[in-house]
Structure formats: structure tokens, C-alpha cells
Amino acid sequence: MDHTYWQKQANNQALFEDLLWSRPENKRLAGKLLVVGGNLHGFAAPAEAYDQAAKAGIGTTKVLLPNALQKTIGQLIENTEFAPSNKSGSFSKQALGEWLAFATWADGVLLAGDLGRNSETAILLESFIGKYNGLLTITKDSADYFTNQPAGILERPQTTLVITIAQLQKLCTAAKWPTPIKFSMLALPLAEQLHQLTNTYAVNLVVLHNDLMFVASGGEVSTTSVPQTESWRIKTAAHCAVWQIQNPGRPFEALTTAVYSTCKS
């Protein structure tokens, strides 16, 4: 079988060095990112995403949290905005206006997680992806919301999922993908499935499996050997969001280089 779709990147040698050389030096030209996440009982994910986006070289970041956190954290995180929350302290359906308004300000949106398990937040997410057409990166529990109705997210352009192999398995099962995704998969079979998945669907996929970070976009696949850390999804998702903002129209190259950049920071 032809495996020319698969490229291997060393963690000390970027595949696409031109992206490293052409990075914006002026912060005003380095892009604007909106990070969304948090609930009354936790906001570690959006807070870390804010820090990682800065390390990745974003120009400006805003963080949007449910207003149930407003008294707790105030301006603990710089550039923080708040949107309506429900009784459980998660985003309510009424937060859609704020989500869309700040998403319009940004060049890309990162759904960082810690949203909490809430049916109202699920409705909000579905409404948001239906109305927002821009660059969208999704990770952690934000991605779990779409496993029951995966078509909307799989078929959405300019969308990147940074997920575990377990989350990929659930997503593919829900989408009735014909080949099961297994924890025992070796690199080649998984690369083949990611190649076929991203040839079939518009979504970009970034998956960590057996210390290899897989990037798949438009049928192209790259792998990079990476050190596994507990919070790899937030770090990787933040870098993916920033590099895509700064390299519009080149998702595969941007995501592959984003993975390389996580090894350097």
C-alpha cells in the first residue's frame, strides 16, 4: 500500500522549517485567540491554555469564563471576560451571544475544557458550532460533548480536535466508522485510519498514542515522538490554535509544526 501520505518528524528537526522562519515578529500581527472554558468548580484548563498560547507566540488572548467564577477569580487571569452561567455554574444557553461576539473579535477559538457535564452547555456548544464559521480548536471534555452527535463536528471545516485515543475511539464508534479504533493499534494501522478519516471528513485530528503525536489533515499524516505529560492536550491544543492562526490555509503544516514547537517549550 502507498504510504506517501505519512511523514515522520523528529522532535529536534521541524518538517516545515519555512513556518519557523516566517513567524510574525510584531505582536500586533501575531493573531488574536479566544479561549473558552471553565465552570464554577474549576478553571485550570482555560488558565493553562492562556499561558501556553503566550508561550506559543500569540499576539493577544482573551479568556471567556462563566460568570459564576467572577467573584472567585476577578482578574486573576489577564484579559478575562464573563458570560452567563446556569445554576450549576457552567455556561448557560444565554452565553451564546457573548461566545459569538468574542469569537468575531478573535482570529480563532480554543474550547479548552473544564466545561462540566451539563445538558444546557451541550446545547450551547451545538448552537455555537452551527453559527461560528471561523477557526476552531477543541480539546479535553469539550470534545466529549460531540461524541453523541459527531457529524456536526467531523464535517465542520477549519476544525481541529486534540484528543486521546479513547476519545477518538468513541467518536468513530458514534460516527459508525467501519474500522474499530483500538488501544493496541500500532503506528501504521492508526496512520492509515487517520488518513482515511481526514479524507472522508473535513476535521483535523491530533492524537497522542504510544508516545507518538499523530497529526492528520486532508488525508495527510505526520507523526512526532513526544514526551508524554499529564496536561499534553491543553499545551498541544494551544500551540495548534496559535500556529493555525498564523498560517491560514496550511492546516497540516501548521499543526505539524505546532507539535514540534511543544517539544521546544
Nearest Cα to 129, choosing from 148, 157, 101, 107?
157
State the SS3 of 67-103: HHHHHHHCCCCCCEEEECECCCCCECHHHHHHHHHHH
Q: Which residues pair with 204 in a beta bridge?
A: 160
Overall pTM surpassing 0.85 (yes/no): yes
Q: Walk me through the domains of the chain, giving residue ranges and CATH numbers.
A: 6-264 (3.40.1190.20)
Coil, strand, or helix at residue 171?
helix
Tell me, what's the pLDDT at 162?
A: 98
What is the DSSP secondary structure assignment for residue 13, as one 8-state letter?
B
Give, to the nearest 10 degrees, the angle between helix 119-131 and helix 96-105.
40
pLDDT tens figures, 236-245 = 999 999 999 9
pLDDT tens figures, 26-80 = 888 999 999 999 999 989 999 999 999 999 999 999 999 999 998 887 667 778 9
**Who contacts 230 (Cβ-Cβ below 8 Å, separation ≥6)?**
none
